Amino acid sequence: MTLIPISDVFGLQSALNLRLSMGPNFGVARTAVINASGSVDGAIGNLTDCVHVDGTSGACGASGSVSTGFVDAEIPAGTLDGVNATFTLANTPNPSSSTVVYRNGLRLKQTGDYTIATNTILFVAGAVPQPTDSLLVSYRIGVTLPGMGFVDGETPGGSIDGVNTSFTLVQSPNPAGSLAVYRNGMRIRSGLDYTSTGSSITFVANSIPQIGDVLQCSYRIAQ
């Protein structure tokens, strides 16, 4: 057998130089990262760690940029007797505007039907829950998601006069499908009751908001 030096094969050394090589920390079944020398290493850390774009690893969300806390369909503590107006949540909503109170399936309006301070809900005089009512509350607890924001219970700009069909949001929902529109506490349907483009909402002819109606919109945005 005759050995042929690499240097005798035109372009072979250059091609080999372009190939990735194993670094000192290379390991089978570990996430691959490129080290400072351009070699393939295995990510170092615990199996439950997250790998960052710079190849380092650590506890997921350790940087403090991500936190998640959602409370869904909580039944607030308090007596449903038609007299008691004060109810208590298990946690303090953060922000308080994320609090959504449903009474018999209809979404109530914050400040219009109730106010909230820390973890206490106080219903206004004309909206005190009755003995047969059902209350459910959803809210966030300091949720921070990179690139994402939340808009809660916004009243869109526009005249509610039974004629006007065009309303405007402060920001454009992103994604567009995150937009939820409530009319008098009832969620209405995109494409059936209204259409939306960017920050504009247009109601169809048979769903035009009437005088006295209450509109609320919630949606996500890109940050």
pLDDT (tens place) for every residue of the chain, 223 residues total: 778 887 877 887 877 676 667 777 776 767 777 776 777 777 777 766 777 766 677 666 544 455 669 999 999 999 999 999 999 999 999 999 999 999 999 999 999 999 999 999 999 999 999 999 999 999 999 888 888 999 999 999 999 999 999 999 999 999 999 999 999 999 999 999 999 999 999 999 999 999 999 999 999 999 8
Q: What pLDDT is stored for residue 179 in this prediction?
A: 98
Q: What pLDDT is stored for residue 108 in this prediction?
A: 97
**What is the C-alpha to C-alpha distance for residues 60 and 51, in angstroms, rounded to an integer?**
8
The side-by-side arrangement of strands in the sheet containing 106-107 is 70-74, 135-140, 100-103, 106-107
Q: 22-57: buried (b, 16+ CB within 10 Å) or exposed (e) per residue?
A: ebeeeeeeeeebeeeeeeebbbeeeeebbbeeeeeb
Q: What pLDDT is stored for residue 31 in this prediction?
A: 77
Q: What pLDDT is stored for residue 62 in this prediction?
A: 47
What is the gyration radius of the CA atoms in the chain, in angstroms?
28
Q: What pLDDT is stored for residue 103 in this prediction?
A: 97
**What is the C-alpha to C-alpha distance for residues 26 and 81, in angstroms, rounded to an integer?**
67
Whole-prediction pTM: 0.69
**What is the C-alpha to C-alpha distance for residues 89 and 112, in angstroms, rounded to an integer?**
19
Residue among 186, 176, 179 nearest 207 (CA): 186
The token pair at 137 is 């509350």
Q: What pLDDT is stored for residue 193 in this prediction?
A: 98
